[in-house]
Amino acid sequence: MNAPIVNPALTKNQTLVFDVLEKSEGPMSAYTILDKLRDHGFRAPLQVYRALDKLTEFGMVHRLESLNAFVACAHREHECCGGAHGHGHGTVAFAICESCNQVLEFHDHKVDHNLGDWAKSKGFKPSKTTIEIRGLCEKCAA
């Protein structure tokens, strides 16, 4: 539950990568981002990965482990307990539609606490928790 960085000054590459992700409808792979940015001078995967690393560190981008892809953070500021930008509240979860690729980002205190209780009972010290639900969104399941 590391404290997120608030409003960091982004470099040019970080801004470009973030803008691409934010405008995207769904998650994007690093290589797809790279292709979108070739016109802006991007030539190599590392340019994308380095920006993604920082954006993830800032809490502005999340990596979807089950897709090897990335999304812009969908939290509104002050949306809830966490305050400000970022995830002060704890673990974030994702519901990923396998039909339309839409991603719903959410957090659930009860899940968070239940997993925390389990960890405590086992003496396990969590650093990062991944929760990803694959399935069909309401629209696609109909």
| Footprint of its own copies (CB under 8 A) | 65-66, 93, 95, 97-98, 104, 106, 108, 110-111, 114-115, 118-119, 122-138, 141
Residue 95 pairs with which residues in a beta bridge? 104, 133
Q: For residue 8, give the nearest of 99, 89, 100, 84 by alpha carbon.
A: 84
Give min distance, CB of 113 to its own copies, in A.
9
Choose the one of Zn ion, DNA, its own copies, none that binds residue 5, judging by a C-beta under 5 to 8 angstroms depending on kind. none
21-60 binders of DNA (CB under 7 A)? 29-32, 41-47, 49-51, 54
| Shorter beta-carbon distance to its own copies: residue 15 or 114 | 114
**Residues 37 and 119: beta-carbon distance below 8 Å:** no
Choose the one of its own copies, DNA, Zn ion, none that binds residue 104, judging by a C-beta under 5 to 8 angstroms depending on kind. its own copies
Give min distance, CB of 70 to DNA, in A.
8
Three-state secondary structure readout of 8-65? CCCCHHHHHHHHHHHHCCCCECHHHHHHHCHHHCCCCHHHHHHHHHHHHHCCCEEEEC
Q: Cα separation of 42 and 5, whole Å?
A: 26
| Shorter beta-carbon distance to its own copies: residue 43 or 121 | 121
| Shorter beta-carbon distance to DNA: residue 15 or 99 | 15
